[in-house]
């Protein structure tokens, strides 16, 4: 049997709670409300890998390349120096079938790790729910066939029990990491929960985390 390879997340304190990291060639959903750290956490994952000289790609559906690079510079990460390629898919691109383009790029350039931030807007081309669901299912399935390790972010409104916009993403993905603001007696605390991780004996607790400039998401008080 081939050795099972786990990919370190780069999130301080997380890997030891998930048997050493994410399974290679898996797709994990990072789900959470606004401002919970989805973008920073997913870039942190790529940063760790880029430092190990892996070919990584960050796809943004919400912010353009310039504003992402400028934002992360303020945060202490120079994406050009780190060799993290940023690709923006704006409304025009999202109106088209862009998945074949992405698959070609991944295959041609031998990209190993991909982030799509966020998956929530990728189905806007489709007018009805059934087609959007089918599209998202197809997109995630295609990523799973590509020998890449992937993080997809998904926005969920605060106080909602759902883990994704269309309600299919969490079932198709191999893992779900949930980021939340938790109300604690008038005080808010951030909490990270591994909601699912296939074939992994993962933590069952919600772990407090902080966001730290230059370091990203750091688990622990």
Ligand X SMILES: Nc1ncnc2c1ncn2[C@@H]1O[C@H](COP(=O)(O)OP(=O)(O)OP(=O)(O)O)[C@@H](O)[C@H]1O
**Residue ranges of the alpha helices (H) in the chain?**
38-51, 65-75, 91-94, 99-109, 129-144, 169-172
39 binds Mg ion (CB under 5 A): yes
Enumerate residues 6+ apart whose C-beta is below 8 A from 62: 117, 118, 121
**C-beta neighbour count of 12 within 10 angstroms:** 16
Footprint on residues 30-59 left by ligand X (CB under 6 A): 32, 34-40
| Position with the least CB separation from Mg ion | 39
Taking Cα atoms as reference points, which of 131, 128, 149, 92 lies closest to residue 101? Answer: 92
Instruction: Mark the segment that binds Mg ion (CB under 5 A) among 39-47, 51-59, 196-204, 208-216.
Output: 39-47
Taking Cα atoms as reference points, which of 174, 170, 172 lies closest to residue 199? Answer: 174
Instruction: Mark the segment that binds ligand X (CB under 6 A) among 28-36, 95-103, 129-137, 160-168.
Output: 28-36
Query: Going residue by residue from 75 to 114, which x/- string records binding to ligand X, judged by CB under 6 A?
Result: x---------------------------------------
CB nearer ligand X, residue 40 or residue 143: 40
Footprint on residues 201-220 left by ligand X (CB under 6 A): 211, 213
Pick one of Mg ion, ligand X, none as the site partner of residue 83 (Cβ within 5 to 8 A by kind). Answer: none
CB nearer Mg ion, residue 82 or residue 121: 121
Pick one of Mg ion, ligand X, none as the site partner of residue 36 (Cβ within 5 to 8 A by kind). Answer: ligand X
Tokens standing for 123?
Answer: 């189905």
Torsion angle of alpha carbons 168, 55, 83, 18, nearest 10°?
Answer: 50
Report the C-alpha gap between 145 and 155 in whole angstroms: 24
Query: Going residue by residue from 60 to 79, which x/- string records binding to ligand X, judged by CB under 6 A?
Result: ---------------x----
Instruction: Mark the segment that binds Mg ion (CB under 5 A) among 33-41, 127-135, 137-145, 173-181.
Output: 33-41
Tokens standing for 133?
Answer: 């669901």
Query: Residue 173, exposed/middle/buried by CB under 10 A (0-12, 13-18, 19+)?
Result: buried
CB nearer ligand X, residue 40 or residue 106: 40
**Considering CB under 6 A, how many residues would be counted as binding ligand X?**
11
Q: Cβ(106)–Cβ(146) under 8 Å?
A: yes
Q: Which residues bind Mg ion (CB under 5 A)?
A: 38-39
Q: Which residues bind ligand X (CB under 6 A)?
A: 32, 34-40, 75, 211, 213
């Amino acid at each position: 049997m081939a050795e099972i390879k786990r990919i370190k997340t780069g999130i301080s304190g997380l890997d030891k709670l998930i048997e050493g990291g994410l399974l290679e060639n898996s797709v994990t959903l990072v789900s959470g409300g606004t401002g919970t750290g989805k973008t920073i956490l997913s870039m942190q994952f790529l940063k760790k890998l880029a430092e190990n000289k892996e070919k990584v790609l960050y796809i943004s559906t919400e912010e353009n390349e310039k504003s992402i690079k400028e934002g992360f510079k303020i945060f202490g990460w120079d994406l050009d120096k780190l060799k993290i390629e940023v690709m923006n898919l704006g409304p025009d691109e999202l109106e088209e079938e862009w998945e074949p383009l992405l698959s070609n790029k991944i295959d041609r350039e031998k990209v190993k790790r991909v982030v799509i931030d966020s998956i929530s807007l990728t189905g806007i081309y489709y007018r009805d729910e059934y087609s959007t669901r089918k599209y998202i299912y197809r997109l995630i399935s295609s990523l799973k066939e590509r020998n890449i390790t992937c993080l997809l972010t998904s926005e969920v409104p605060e106080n909602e029990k759902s883990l994704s916009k269309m309600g299919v993403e969490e079932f198709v993905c191999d893992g779900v990491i949930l980021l939340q603001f938790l109300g604690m007696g008038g005080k808010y605390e951030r909490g990270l929960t591994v909601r699912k991780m296939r074939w992994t004996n993962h933590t069952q607790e919600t772990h407090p985390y902080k966001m730290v400039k230059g370091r990203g998401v750091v688990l622990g008080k």
